[in-house]
Amino acid sequence: MFALDDIDRRLLRELLKDSNRSYRELARSIGVSAATVINHVQRLESAGVIKDYTVQLDHERLGYELTVITEITVSKGKLLETEEEIAKISNACAVYDITGLTDAMVVAKFKSRKDLSDFTKKLLAMPYVERTNTHVVLTTMKEDFRMLQDI
C-alpha cells in the first residue's frame, strides 16, 4: 500500500473533482505552490496511484440505456483467462473475481436489447463459461467510483 501524506490526499480529492485544471489552479485550491503540486503528481503517477486522466460520461445521454450485472460461472480453473477475454469486450465496464456461488461478475452497458443479447451469446460461446445469470438495472441511484470522501 502506498502511503499518502496530507498534500497527496488534498490533491487527489481535487483531481477527482476535476482533473482538467492546471497545476497552478490545483496549487491555489489546496494552498501549496505549483512546484509542490507537480512533485506530488509525478510521485503519485510513478507509484501507480494515478493511473490515468479521464472524463466522467453520462452513458444514458449517449444512448447506453441498459446497464446489466452478469454473474458468470467458469469451469476447469480457467477463470483468469476467461476474465481477460471478457475484459476485452468494449461493453464491459468492470470485471471482478468474486466469492460466492459464481466466479465472476461483469458490469456492462448497452444501447439495445440486441446488443445485450449478442454480448450474452458471446459470453456463453466462450469455452469455459458454464452459465451466466444477468440482472438488468432498473434505476441507477449512484454510479461513481471516485470515492472522494475516503482519500
The model's pLDDT over 1-15, given as tens digits with 9 standing for 90+, comes to 899 999 999 999 999
100: left (phi over 0), alpha (psi -120 to 50) or beta: left
Q: Which of 44, 50, 32 is nearest to 23 (CA)?
A: 32
Query: Candidates 3.20.20.140, 3.30.70.920, 3.30.460.80, 3.30.70.1450; correct CATH number of 60-136?
Result: 3.30.70.920
Q: What is the pLDDT of residues 48-101, one digit of tens each?
A: 999 999 888 999 999 999 999 999 999 999 999 999 999 999 999 999 999 999
Query: In the prediction, which pLDDT does 9 show?
Result: 95
- With a cut of 70, say whether residue 34 has pLDDT above it: yes
* pLDDT score of 1: 84
Beta strands 104-110 and 66-74, pairing class: antiparallel
Percent pLDDT > 70 in the chain is 99
Q: What's the pTM value of the predicted model, to 2 decimals?
A: 0.84
CATH of 6-46, one of 1.10.10, 1.10.3470, 3.30.365, 3.10.20: 1.10.10
72 DSSP β-pair partners: 104, 132
Can you tell me which residue has the cell 451466466? Answer: 132
